[in-house]
């Protein structure tokens, strides 16, 4: 395999695996952890506001708030909120573990399918090598793909982007990767594989 074919094969391997990963991520969403409802919103602070008002700069407020902090009612509220936060975190961990396992299985199956298809198209060396590389990338890097997907979902939980915008970005990436793959495979077939086959046929012609 010459340098051009090697470059095309690696390119197909990279962009096809990215396309597969992005498509899987689009249809099979990773779980989100709702930080807003568990960590950053303290319902117990409302008790202080109810008892002491909103004038946080007065001496009376400081005295009143200290009494509320040391009260049994505030301690019970704080304990319940900590338990709810812990339960939510444990639920998220279980969902993430299930998502990671299912993702590894999906990536593994798709990787094997691509490798098998690659070997069935072995006469088209650059395309075949690209498909095989893509399958290997999906299997070997499946854990990394799942990790980045989970991290992206975690960032979205902080409110980094809206679901609508995130879906639009994913669709644009999927379409872009698909176009690149189609161009690589079609041009590889037309400009490299067909040309090589034509040259071989010309060499085999009787003189």
Query: What does the pLDDT read at residue 134?
Result: 93
CA distances, 200 to each of 38, 58, 82, 115, 191 (Å): 68, 92, 73, 27, 14
DSSP of 118-144: HHHTTTSHHHHHHHHHHHHHHHHTHHH
Query: What pLDDT does 39 receive?
Result: 47
Q: What is the pLDDT along the chain (207 residues), one digit of tens a residue?
A: 578 888 989 999 999 998 998 898 888 887 776 655 554 446 777 778 888 877 777 778 888 888 888 888 888 888 888 888 788 778 878 888 888 888 888 989 999 999 999 999 888 888 899 999 999 998 888 777 666 666 655 555 555 445 667 778 778 888 998 999 999 888 888 877 666 555 545 555 455
């Amino acid at each position: 395999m010459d340098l051009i074919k090697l470059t095309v094969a690696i390119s197909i391997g990279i962009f096809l695996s990215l396309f597969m990963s992005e498509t899987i991520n689009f249809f099979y969403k990773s779980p989100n952890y709702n930080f807003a409802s568990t960590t950053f919103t303290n319902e117990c602070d409302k008790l202080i506001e109810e008892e002491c008002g909103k004038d946080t700069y007065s001496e009376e407020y400081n005295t009143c708030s200290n009494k509320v902090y040391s009260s049994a009612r505030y301690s019970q509220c704080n304990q319940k909120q900590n338990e709810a936060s812990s339960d939510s975190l444990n639920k998220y961990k279980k969902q993430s573990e299930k998502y990671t396992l299912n993702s590894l299985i999906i990536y593994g199956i798709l990787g094997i399918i691509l490798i098998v298809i690659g070997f069935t198209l072995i006469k088209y060396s650059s395309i075949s090598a690209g498909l095989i590389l893509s399958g290997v990338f999906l299997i070997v890097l499946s854990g990394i793909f799942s990790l980045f997907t989970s991290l992206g979902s975690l960032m979205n939980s902080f409110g980094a982007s809206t679901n609508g915008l995130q879906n639009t970005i994913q669709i644009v990436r999927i379409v872009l990767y698909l176009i690149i793959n189609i161009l690589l495979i079609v041009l590889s077939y037309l400009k490299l594989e067909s040309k090589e086959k034509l040259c071989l046929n010309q060499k085999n012609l009787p003189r």
